[in-house]
């Protein structure tokens, strides 16, 4: 185990040495902006900012817990007879403040597109494409079978398998 740790440390050192030899891709005059805290804060680095943020978050969570506890205590004194006031706003209630701008809207009208007819047309288009594909494949299949059906289309010479010698062209043409 010690050997593995030693080898790992050695490898890590070699890797760091190799990485240190790689030149920086940044220009020499590159000067990135530095972190500056808010005007009322004297925070000058990211770690201090994270600590300040964590403290403020904890404080907020504590105050929220106190407020929720207080609300839960008030909830036990709830009165079931209380009804909240209704809020109803209507532009006609404010006729004296009404501008000449009209708030009328066009009534909703049904579409004139017959969806069933479209679906039927797509179905027939699909069927026509299926039949066209079937006819195309059948035509090419019959054409290929007709072309390769006979031996003559392959360009082979006639062979007499009963003889031991090849038939010459002269003797093949004689009766």
Residue-level pLDDT at 171: 53
CA dihedral 106, 111, 112, 114 (to 10 degrees): -170
Nearest one of 171, 144, 150, 147 to 160, comparing CA atoms: 171
Residue-level pLDDT at 91: 57
Rounded mean pLDDT for each run of 10 residues along the chain, 175 residues in total: 86 89 82 69 74 88 86 70 68 58 73 80 83 93 80 60 63 51
pTM of the model: 0.27
Residue-level pLDDT at 137: 94
Interior/surface letters 10-21, b for 16+ CB within 10 angstroms, e for the rest: eeeeeeeeeeee
Q: Report the C-alpha gap between 2 and 36 in whole angstroms.
A: 45
């Amino acid at each position: 185990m010690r050997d593995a740790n030693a080898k790992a440390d050695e490898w890590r050192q070699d890797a760091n040495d190799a990485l240190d030899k790689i030149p920086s891709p940044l220009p020499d005059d590159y000067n990135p902006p530095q972190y500056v805290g808010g005007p009322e804060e004297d925070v000058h680095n990211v770690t201090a900012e994270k600590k300040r943020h964590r403290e403020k978050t904890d404080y907020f969570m504590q105050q929220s817990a106190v407020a929720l506890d207080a609300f839960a205590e008030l909830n036990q004194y709830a009165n079931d007879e209380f009804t909240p006031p209704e809020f109803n706003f209507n532009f006609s209630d404010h006729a004296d403040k009404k501008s000449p701008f009209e708030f009328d809207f066009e009534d909703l009208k049904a579409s004139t597109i017959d969806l069933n007819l479209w679906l039927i047309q797509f179905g027939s288009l699909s069927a026509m494409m299926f039949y066209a594909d079937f006819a195309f494949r059948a035509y090419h299949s019959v054409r290929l079978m007709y072309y390769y059906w006979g031996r003559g289309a392959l360009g082979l010479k006639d062979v007499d398998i009963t003889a031991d010698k090849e038939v010459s062209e002269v003797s093949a043409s004689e009766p």
